[in-house]
Copies of this chain bind each other. A is one copy, B any other.
Amino acid sequence: MIRQLYDRDSYTYTYLLVCDKTGQAALIDPVKDNVTQYVQLLKELNLKLVYALDTHIHADHITALSVLRKATGCSTLVSSQGKVNCASGGLTNNACLTIGLLSLRAIYTPGHTDDSYSFYLQEGANGYLFTGDTLLIRGTGRTDFQNGSASDLYESLHNKLLQYPDNTIVYPAHDYNGFTQSTIFEEKYFNPRVKIKDKGAFIQFMAELNLPKPKHIEIAVPANQQCGELDV
């Protein structure tokens, strides 16, 4: 079972992945402000949290990884590329995480940041990609801070994520337009940034976005490099 949760302040989607047979569970991109809600839901559904994972060092909210580890004893994993020492371990490309009978594959997809990962879950005939800020619904994450690279993002999109089957469900880390999920088919054909097939043109497009700086980046990034501990 996959349960999507929503943080209204930062428009972040958090995902609860559950192995129905064993009651083991994982949380992807949990938000510190919502820890009480997560812990209560885990209790109500009688689940054992085995992993709390971040797709990358977020700039817009503080991660719940450290608090969840203290509260539940779960393992916390973040990108091994992110130079973060506070987690239980580091994600590497193609690492396979076991959640009960489920297998979650980590895919290194740099570009939005140099520590960005996506996750792939296969459940029977259905495939699910948790794309972080690498692939958003009809959009992508920006590439202008945290060692972002439009060139790397282009490669991660076209050579990694878009290689998955058309019917793969896409679950991003954010949405600002009222969408909750998409598919690889839809993003391949209707995502305006994915439709820029020329790599040079894509790099130029990303360079010209001129987006405002995220509001909380000075607080969030250092806090998240400490897994969300506030006494940084």
User: Which residues in A have some Cβ–Cβ distance to B below 8 Å?
Assistant: 3-8, 34, 37, 44-45, 175, 177-181, 186, 189-190
Contacts of A181 in B (CB 8 A): 3-4
**Complex Cα spacing A177 to B5, Å:** 9
Q: Do residues B180 and A6 form an inter-chain contact, with CB atoms below 8 A?
A: yes
Smallest CB gap from A33: residue in B: B178
- List 13 extra interface pairs beyond A4-B180, A6-B180, A37-B178, CB under 8 A: A3-B181, A5-B179, A5-B180, A6-B175, A6-B178, A6-B179, A8-B178, A34-B178, A37-B177, A44-B186, A44-B190, A45-B186, A180-B180
Name the residue among A6, A186, A189 with the largest chain B CB count within 10 angstroms.
A6
Which chain B residues border A178 with CB–CB below 8 Å? Answer: 5-8, 34, 37
Q: What is the CB-to-nearest-CB distance from A16 to chain B, in angstroms, rounded to a whole number? A: 10
**A–B Cβ pairs within 8 angstroms, 12 of them:** A3-B180, A3-B181, A4-B180, A5-B178, A5-B179, A6-B175, A6-B178, A6-B179, A37-B177, A37-B178, A44-B186, A180-B180
A29–chain B nearest beta-carbon distance, Å? 13
- The 8 tightest CB contacts between A and B, nearest first, are A6-B178, A4-B180, A44-B190, A5-B178, A7-B178, A6-B180, A34-B178, A8-B178
CA A175 to CA B37, docked complex, whole Å: 14
Roughly how many angstroms separate A6 CA and B179 CA in the complex, as a whole number? 6
Contacts of A180 in B (CB 8 A): 3-6, 180
Q: Which residue of B lies closest to A178 (CB)?
A: B6
Q: CB-nearest residue of chain B relative to A43?
A: B190
| Complex Cα–Cα for A186 and B1 (A) | 14
A62 smallest CB distance to B (angstroms): 15
